[in-house]
A and B are shown apart, each in its own frame.
Chain A
Amino acid sequence: MDKKHLKPIYWGLFAGGGTLAALILPALIVLFGVLLPFGLIGFPPTLHTHWQGFVSRWWVFIPLALILFMLLWHTVHRLYYILHDMHIHVGNKTRWSLYAFALLILVLTLVCGLY
């Protein structure tokens, strides 16, 4: 298979993930890294009581996992190009391994979250 045909897929996922990261990641980090763990907004178990049932439905859980997967894809894609920019000569094996790593984390998230 001509790998050129796959370019729109991995660049598209990179663009989508990068855009999502730019739009929502700072808020997510402030929320899940500061506000909730340090009890600065309310009582976190209440959030769980209200939304656990909804979030654990497959048609909610999968899109949420996919959003995070796109962020991770953006990372591994960029990492590959950093290696190139730093003159660390890696080939396609490294590229596909990085993509496979992101996919593996997605599969783990889905398996652990849905079963």
Chain B
Amino acid sequence: MSRKPYHSRQSADWFMKNSYFSRYMLRELTCIPIGLYTINLMAGLVAFAQDQGAWVDWLVSQRNPIMLLLMVLALFSSVFHTITWFETTPKIMKIIKKDGTLLPGRWVLAANWLAFAVLSLLIIAFAAFYS
């Protein structure tokens, strides 16, 4: 059973022709540095669960220029991912108030950023307290 797939006539570089589409593609592409860095974090988690030598070795490996490049790319990507992910949240989450009107999107957005701030602070404060 083979069906000819539909091939659109849109050019391959369609997302380069309009800044809105470029931003969309950039947003989608953030997943690549994020994924690579996540694999690195999984290696770090494994190292941490093992002995102290493995943990220190993993930390030293993070200062390697290639890892630093990945870190910088992943940091920019993840911040852009956060911004764009939070932007879409009010469009997906429609919260209806008791009076039947919608909770304004900016409140949903603000709640997201508040959660981001609290979690970020907790993670860093926790590590700073115990190290």
Contacts and interface: CB of A to CB of B under 8 A. Distances in A.
A interface: dominant SS = helix
B31 A79 contact: yes
Given A22-B116, A26-B79, A55-B49, A33 B71 contact: yes
The DSSP consensus for interface residues of chain B is helix
Contacts of A29: 37, 71, 74-75, 78
Contacts of B66: none
Interface in B1-55: 5, 7-8, 10, 12, 15, 25, 28-29, 31-32, 34-35, 37-39, 41-42, 44-46, 48-52, 55
Interface residues of A, number: 57
Contacts of A52: 48-49, 51-52, 55
Interface residues on B, range: 35 or more
A102 to B, nearest CB: 9
B28 A34 contact: no
Contact of A37 (B28, B41, B63, B123): B63
Nearest to A111: B46
